[in-house]
Amino acid sequence: MTEHDKVVLITGASSGIGEAAARRLAADGHRVFLGARRTDRLESLAHHISSGGGIAAFRRLDVTSAEDTRSFVAAAREEFGRVDVLVNNAGVMPLSPLEALRVDEWDRMLDVNVRGVLHGIAAALPVMKAQGTGHIVNVASVGAYEVVPTAAVYCATKFAVRAISEGLRQESAGGIRVSVISPGVTESELPDSITDPAAREAMKAYRAVALPAAAVADTIAFAVSRPPEVDVNELVVRPAASAQ
């Protein structure tokens, strides 16, 4: 295994940042193991990567299930022999004002955005500790640094991802690297989960200027490609033309 030949696990790999990261990291020579619920998309992506000379495999993954996440990591280890990098990317963003009381959507964000990250860490960390090396990359958001109306719960989940990542970094110094990648507005399917009419309309204007998912994938690839003695802890990337 070299800096250009790692086994990289990616959650939420069926679209957006996860898909773009899979393409970029495979193009860089890494072996990618893809997880998401939409296996038809994973199969198509894995086929595309393999057809281009890359190495990819996939497994259905629901990050809200700790058992499913453990099985995902175990399957990757069985397929490729090790687990070098885990990209915790899966996320949802059903924005709404708190007074709308969309409790089911709050719970969904907590389950995917926070518990999903914790499940990934719980599954991958023992493997990485046994190897003596590893890298956990958590995809957060600029919402990990600021709060805006309709996004209180979403931002809270991303604040949590940042806090969890910092705690893991401090506890794992010397063996496991930890990176937080926080994108600004990015082209993705995240707004599709917004059911609140006012929040959905406001998001159209907010997302008028957006990063391509490939730009965030480039940022992830940068963090992954650093030599073992370099730990890139936090990177924030925004559209240059946006103040958000």
Cα separation, 100 vs 120, in Å, equals 31
Beta bridge partners of 8: 32, 85
- Under 8 Å between Cβ of 73 and 57: no
Sign of the CA dihedral with 68 first, then 36, 23, and 222 last: negative
| Amino acid in position 105 | E
**Two structure tokens written together for 241:** 């033309």
Point out the catalytic residue in the list 72, 80, 106, 154: 154
| Annotation marks residue 154 as catalytic | yes
Cα separation, 32 vs 56, in Å, equals 5
**Catalytic residue set:** 154
